[in-house]
Structure 1
Amino acid sequence: MTPDPELAALSALGGFFVLRTGVPERGPLPTLARAYAHPRSADAPEAHRDPLTFRVRKVAARLDAREVRVAASIAHQGLAARLSSIALGCAVLYGRPPDLGPELLHWDPDAAAPDDLWLSEVRPSPAGTDAEPLDAVLRVAHLVPLVSAVAARHRVPERLLWGNAGSALAGAVRMIERWARAEGRPETARRARTLAAGLFTGPGLSGTLDAGTGRRRSCCLYYRLPGGGLCGDCCFDRPPNRR
């Protein structure tokens, strides 16, 4: 199935899967390639100069995070979830997803899903229906540089960030499975599980989740927020002593 010019089929899966296309309505936005790169000089607004740090500060203010690393982890998981959703959703629904390169994906660090990501051009990609091309589109093109950037700038352990990515990918699979059950499309659910399973055997994602329970082997630190608790797939049974 050839992707339609507006990737409209993704909207059926839910807001986290929606990917806007064309020119952003609110003007130029930085690319994810810019977000992963070193910040530019101070002659531009922070949202364009260093969109990743801008997002971390926004999350910290919204959640009253007293530790930058906590805000950085939550911000990272949110973007990883968006990327996992659109990449897996395209692979499942279209079979051959479009090119989702970081230089084509524009990001508004001041917006939430589904208004945060825009694909400037829907063009063919070498990605197919097996896990290897999806690995190139998602893990290599996005998750690897995103983990590196957040770890370097905000001193968050890479193991924790890969746990975020694994949790985000598993969450995307669950949402596709839920939609597939409602629509009577068991083959779509199987396809999502197969593609994700291939990704979970690769570098970074391998070992992030317990194979039996689906729980992650690291913690996103959400419990360290004021009023925060444990996520459903957390490695902890109760919040650790904050001291």
Structure 2
Amino acid sequence: MDLDPALAALRPLGGFFVLRTAADPAGAAGGPGAGRPPTLAETYAGAAPDALTARVAVVADRLRTAEPRVAASIAQQGLAARLWSAALGCAVLYGRTPDLDPRLLRWDPHASAPDDLCLTELRPLPGDAAALAATVLHGHLAPLAKALRDRYGSAPGLLWGNAGSALAAAARALESWARAHGRTDAAERTRALTDGLFAHPLLRTTGARTGGAFRRRSCCLYYRVPGGGVCGDCCFTRPPRSSPRAASG
């Protein structure tokens, strides 16, 4: 099945899976007061330095946290979830995935979650685990992790744990939708692709998987948010009293 210009097959899966394209009437609208929305490539490289800072600030404000490293972690996990969802959804439903080159993806760092992304050009790629890893892991999450480490001192183990957690969550949502709609083929393809991705060296040690469940080996720091607690896949069973820096690294 060829990728359609609007990636319409993703829409029934929910907001985290939807990826706007240049074929959408909305186009690539920017945020409040924005001109041309920055690309993710510009964001990661620091060519649009205010974009990453703005996104972390937006997340910090919504979570009511005064700790930038906490907001940076949650912001990164949200973007990872969006990228995994769109890529995995296309690979499962189309058998192809669009080229998500960071130079082709514009975003609004001021938008409400899920992060607003627009693909400016549709270039089909294979829909296998290797292509997904190249597109999402190496194309986005590695340069994003470097930018967050440089700017906020984010621990590598935390960031890759977030990547694994986001992938597991996207896979669970997609497999649940597939089974609810009698798409056993899609459910099986989701599981196979997810298995292949978690075999990648960057994700292999991020957590333990049992069926669709995932228990990560790091903490995203959400428990440090006012009123927050531990997530369902956290390495902690209760909020720790001390700083999680060692556990999240």
1:211-230 map, 5 Å: 211-212=209-210, 214-230=214-230
Structure 2 Cα separation of the partners of residues 72 and 214 of structure 1: 22
Instruction: Show the counterpart of 1:203.
Output: 201
Deviation at 1:113, TM superposition (A): 4.3
Instruction: Show the counterpart of 1:154.
Output: 152
Residue 216 of structure 1 contacts residue 235 of structure 1 at CA under 8 Å; is this kept in 2? yes
Instruction: Show the counterpart of 1:45.
Output: none
Deviation at 1:217, TM superposition (A): 0.5
SS in 1 for 2:6: coil
Deviation at 1:114, TM superposition (A): 5.2
Structure 1's 111 and 157: CA in aligned 2 closer, same or farther, altered over 3 A? same
TM norm structure 2: 0.89
> Residue deviations 1:55-104, cap 9 Å, x none?
00111111111211101001110001001101111111111112111000
> Residue deviations 1:170-212, cap 9 Å, x none?
0000110111111101110111111111111112211111134
Higher share in strand:
2
Among 17, 20, 37, the residue aligned to 2:45: 37
Residue 90 of structure 2 contacts residue 127 of structure 2 at CA under 8 Å; is this kept in 1? no
Alignment gaps of 5+ in structure 2: 244-249
Structure 1 Cα separation of the partners of residues 105 and 186 of structure 2: 26
Deviation at 1:138, TM superposition (A): 1.3
Instruction: Show the counterpart of 1:44.
Output: none
Q: How many residues were matched structurally?
A: 233
Structure 2 Cα separation of the partners of residues 161 and 123 of structure 1: 28
Residue type at the aligned position of 1:52: L
Structure 2 Cα separation of the partners of residues 81 and 65 of structure 1: 21
TM norm structure 1: 0.91
> Residue deviations 1:5-35, cap 9 Å, x none?
1001111111100011113144521000011
Residue 52 of structure 1 contacts residue 109 of structure 1 at CA under 8 Å; is this kept in 2? yes
Q: Which moved more, 1:159-168 or 1:60-69?
A: 60-69
Residue 17 of structure 1 contacts residue 86 of structure 1 at CA under 8 Å; is this kept in 2? yes
Alignment gaps of 5+ in structure 1: 41-47
SS in 2 for 1:215: strand
Residue 230 of structure 2 contacts residue 239 of structure 2 at CA under 8 Å; is this kept in 1? yes
Instruction: Show the counterpart of 1:43.
Output: none
Structure 1's 59 and 166: CA in aligned 2 closer, same or farther, altered over 3 A? same
1:7-156 map, 5 Å: 7-22=7-22, 23-26=27-30, 28-38=36-46, 40=47, 48-113=48-113, 116-125=116-125, 128-156=126-154
Instruction: Show the counterpart of 1:2.
Output: 2
Residue type at the aligned position of 2:107: W
Structure 1's 3 and 102: CA in aligned 2 closer, same or farther, altered over 3 A? same
SS in 2 for 1:160: helix
Structure 2 Cα separation of the partners of residues 114 and 192 of structure 1: 21
SS in 1 for 2:165: helix
Residue type at the aligned position of 1:24: A
Deviation at 1:242, TM superposition (A): 4.4
Percent of residue pairs identical: 60
